[in-house]
């Protein structure tokens, strides 16, 4: 019994140490948080790739590598709803109009609305989601993208809720976005231009190793609404430690 009490005390002490080590000045400095994602193909596109998003204050540093795509322009966004853990659509249950394609709008229940437009220049807000001339153009079936830009505090604190979505498929192999089917977003764009072709959920990369304690806390980061991920994780660790203590105490009685 005493052993378990001591264990609980040690767990709490470790949490406190973690808080002391990572809290205080470290939090105030807005230490970088790195998120990564691996693209899964959508709509049988065969597209693949990855993304890294580093968050420093309200600055996002985005690096993405996308391959297996048509040599055309590819609209790409960070989608999501802050405070909600989104997911990449899979299967066909979201294909409401039954055309065999999960179009941009049909994917929204899973991956949310546009929170940032990953343009190559100019505005990166959601207002530029369809600024088709401002997105990267693939060559030889792939493209790389790097950009640093500012976002709101809400978005910066909620990057772990976001998903990277790439659009644009040359379904008929014509060498351009065309066809009779129109985009669900705009009558000025063909479906091909805005069709989602790949999606990646952003996940907090393993940061500085602090022992096994922080590992279990990662899952609860999605519960926070707009909180800084570090704070959320530390909070979870401390709460975890406190709960452990309570349980052990109860067990010794």
Q: Are strands 114-117 and 48-56 parallel, antiparallel or unpaired?
A: unpaired
**Distance separating alpha carbons of residues 154 and 61, to the nearest angstrom:** 16
For residue 244, state whether it binds Cu ion (rule: CB under 5 A): no
For residue 202, state whether it binds Cu ion (rule: CB under 5 A): no
Q: Number of H helices and number of E strands within the chain?
A: 6, 10
Three-class SS state of 48: strand
Closer CB to Cu ion, 18 or 161, in the complex: 161
Least Å from the CB of residue 81 to Cu ion:
14
Give the range of 3-11, 20-28, 35-43, 69-77 binding Cu ion by CB under 5 A.
Answer: 69-77
**Distance separating alpha carbons of residues 131 and 189, to the nearest angstrom:** 11
Give the range of 151-159, 161-169, 171-179, 214-222 binding Cu ion by CB under 5 A.
Answer: 161-169
For residue 74, state whether it binds Cu ion (rule: CB under 5 A): no
Do 77 and 115 form a contact (C-beta atoms < 8 A)? yes
For residue 165, state whether it binds Cu ion (rule: CB under 5 A): yes
Closer CB to Cu ion, 165 or 202, in the complex: 165
Give the range of 31-39, 133-141, 157-165, 201-209 binding Cu ion by CB under 5 A.
Answer: 157-165
Owner of token pair 């063909």: 190
Residue nearest to Cu ion (CB): 77
Residues in contact with Cu ion, shown as a per-residue x/- string from 77 to 116 under the rule CB under 5 A:
x---------------------------------------
Q: Which two tokens stand for residue 167?
A: 């659009």
For residue 197, state whether it binds Cu ion (rule: CB under 5 A): no
31 Cα distance to chain centroid: 18
Which CA distances in Å does 140 have to 21, 189, 207? 48, 24, 34
End-to-end CA distance of the chain: 9
- Cross-sheet strand order for the sheet of 59-67: 142-150, 59-67, 48-56, 33-38, 203-204
Q: How many residues touch Cu ion (CB under 5 A)? A: 2
Least Å from the CB of residue 19 to Cu ion:
38
Least Å from the CB of residue 79 to Cu ion:
5
For residue 184, state whether it binds Cu ion (rule: CB under 5 A): no
For residue 199, state whether it binds Cu ion (rule: CB under 5 A): no
Q: Which residues bind Cu ion (CB under 5 A)?
A: 77, 165
């Amino acid at each position: 019994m005493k052993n378990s009490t001591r264990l609980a005390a040690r767990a709490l002490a470790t949490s406190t140490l973690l808080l002391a080590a990572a809290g205080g000045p470290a939090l105030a400095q807005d230490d970088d948080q790195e998120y990564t994602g691996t693209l899964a193909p959508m709509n049988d596109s065969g597209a693949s790739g990855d993304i890294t998003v580093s968050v420093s204050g309200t600055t996002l540093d985005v690096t993405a590598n996308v391959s297996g795509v048509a040599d055309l322009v590819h609209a790409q966004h960070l989608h999501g709803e802050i405070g909600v853990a989104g997911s990449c659509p899979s299967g066909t249950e979201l294909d409401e109009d039954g055309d065999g394609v999960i179009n941009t709008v049909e994917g929204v229940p899973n991956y949310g609305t546009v929170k940032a437009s990953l343009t190559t220049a100019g505005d990166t807000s959601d207002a530029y989601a369809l600024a088709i001339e401002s997105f990267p153009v693939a060559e030889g079936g792939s493209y790389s993208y790097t950009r640093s830009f500012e976002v709101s505090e809400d978005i910066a604190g909620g990057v772990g809720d976001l998903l990277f979505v790439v659009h644009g498929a040359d379904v008929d192999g014509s060498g351009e976005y065309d066809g009779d089917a129109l985009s669900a977003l705009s009558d000025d764009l063909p479906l091909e231009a805005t069709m989602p072709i790949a999606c990646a959920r952003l996940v907090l990369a393993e940061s500085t190793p602090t022992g096994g304690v922080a590992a279990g806390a990662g899952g609860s980061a999605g519960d926070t609404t707009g909180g800084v991920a570090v704070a959320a994780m530390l909070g979870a660790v401390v709460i975890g430690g406190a709960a452990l203590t309570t349980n052990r105490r109860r067990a010794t009685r």
